[in-house]
Chains A and B, each alone.
Chain A
Amino acid sequence: MRGRTMALFDFFRRSEPTSASMAKDRLQIIVTRERAVTSGTPDYLARLKQELLEVISKYEKVDLDRVSVNLERNHGFDVLELNIVLADDSPPMPLPRPRAALSAPRS
């Protein structure tokens, strides 16, 4: 019984994406890209990426290609998105210990 109802639903459901939904997907991509170009993405993004990488690589092994820094401009607000994929094969490097912890407790 249940199977039958499902089949009936499937029959009415659109399986192919409509041309309107394809239009929306294409627009989402192009509009985001053009906003970045025309709204003058700040030129510090490349430097920011490099410096972040230097800091993070002190603690974790990171792959340059797997870091993305992205600034998205929507009308009214900006979103700075930072995405870092850590290499999963290496254990995290031991953190340099604060000196104080090494010294004997004061009595």
Chain B
Amino acid sequence: MSKVIVVTSGKGGVGKTTTSANVATGLALLGYRTVAIDFDVGLRNLDLVMGCERRVVYDFVNVIKKEASLRQAVIRDKRVENLFILPASQTRDKDALDVEGVGRVIEDFRAAQFDYIICDSPAGIERGALMAMYFADEAIVVTNPEVSSVRDSDRVLGLLDAKTRKVETGERVKTHLLLTRYAPGRVAKGEMLGYADVLELLGIPLLGVIPESKAVLQASNLGTPVILDPTADAAQAYLDVVARFVGEERPQRFLDVPKRGFFSRLFGEPTAYAG
């Protein structure tokens, strides 16, 4: 049975595409047949973050409009087995997505025995975002510890409880909170909302905390999801997230300022992540 997962947030630029790329890669590394679909029609990015932008020929909208087959449009990742990408169209707008067409594509992926179908939602709460969440079984709500992001996430949680197929059949979309760009140092100083506050406000289970990390920017510069560089802090955080997602219990990390060793305290070596 395939699982459809939407990565959504309401607010833009909080880390949805980064999370889609890393969670999809992480699931594939565990051996699950996984596809990541870019729903950000007109502003496609997932292909860049995953480093396959030069291999895009046909896209999601071509498939919906029956101008290309799914087989022609889906890109197989070169580094990780079991990992596939369906890029968004760069030239159309989000109205090119309709329930029927999106539903057909999702059904085709189910029929092709994919374990996970990751839907990278565009920002906002308009058509594109609604299409990305409509068929979801579960949702990863990406939130930054910051007022407008938390408010938008709450709004999106309301939509997940109202505008999905699950709800129409009397079920609920299972929701997970992913706090990204977290800077424990700033939380300790009282400059940034802490994870406990965000959890209390949104009232959904915490899937994980991804620290603010230079490695993420570097990874997208290279077109290699950060999770493929296990020495990076954000990679470890995403590996934990993926493990938890498939049911493994792992204690939360990256919640607090890393303890500095004797030497770094003496010489003021910068901590592993900004803060």
Which residues of A are at the interface with B, using a C-beta cutoff of 8 A?
A: 14, 18-21, 23-24, 26-28, 30-31, 34-35, 38-39, 74-76
Q: Indicate if the CB atoms of A20 and B201 lie closer than 8 Å.
A: no
- Among candidates B151, B162, B189, B192, residue contacting A31 with C-beta atoms closer than 8 Å: B151
**Cα(A19)–Cα(B190), bound, Å:** 6
- Is B197 part of the contact surface with A, judged by Cβ < 8 Å? yes
Whole-angstrom distance between the Cβ of B40 and the nearest chain A Cβ:
24
Considering only CB atoms, which chain A residue lies closest to B162 in the complex? A39
Contact with A along B1-29 (1 / 0, CB 8 A): 00000000000000000000000000000
Closest 6 CB pairs of A and B: A18-B190, A24-B197, A31-B154, A20-B190, A75-B203, A23-B147
- Is B229 part of the contact surface with A, judged by Cβ < 8 Å? no
Chain A residues within an 8 Å CB radius of B162: 39
Chain A residues within an 8 Å CB radius of B197: 20, 24
Q: Indicate if the CB atoms of A35 and B193 lie closer than 8 Å.
A: no
- Is B175 part of the contact surface with A, judged by Cβ < 8 Å? yes
Q: Indicate if the CB atoms of A31 and B150 lie closer than 8 Å.
A: yes
How many chain B residues sit at the interface, stated as a range, is 20 to 34
CB-defined A-B contacts under 8 Å, sample of 21: A18-B190, A18-B191, A20-B187, A20-B191, A20-B192, A20-B194, A21-B190, A23-B147, A23-B193, A24-B193, A24-B197, A27-B150, A27-B201, A28-B201, A30-B151, A34-B151, A34-B158, A38-B158, A39-B161, A39-B162, A75-B203
Q: Indicate if the CB atoms of A27 and B190 lie closer than 8 Å.
A: no
Whole-angstrom distance between the Cβ of B32 and the nearest chain A Cβ:
27
Contact status of A35 and B154, CB under 8 A, knowing A26-B147, A27-B147: yes
**Cα(A18)–Cα(B191), bound, Å:** 7
Contact with A along B182-220 (1 / 0, CB 8 A): 000001011111100100011110000000000000000
Chain A residues within an 8 Å CB radius of B190: 14, 18-21
Whole-angstrom distance between the Cβ of B170 and the nearest chain A Cβ:
15
Considering only CB atoms, which chain B residue lies closest to A75 in the complex? B203
Whole-angstrom distance between the Cβ of A103 and the nearest chain B Cβ:
54
> Which of A18, A19, A24, A74 is packed against the most chain B CB atoms within 10 Å?
A24
Q: Indicate if the CB atoms of B203 and A74 lie closer than 8 Å.
A: yes
Contact with A along B130-172 (1 / 0, CB 8 A): 0000000000000000110011001101100110000000000
Q: Knowing that A27-B147, A34-B151 are A-B contacts, what are 7 other residue pairs whose CB atoms are under 8 Å apart, sorted by A's residue number?
A: A18-B189, A19-B190, A19-B191, A21-B190, A23-B146, A39-B161, A75-B204
Chain B residues within an 8 Å CB radius of A23: 146-147, 193
Chain A residues within an 8 Å CB radius of B201: 24, 27-28, 31
Whole-angstrom distance between the Cβ of A102 and the nearest chain B Cβ:
53
Chain B residues within an 8 Å CB radius of A27: 147, 150-151, 193, 201
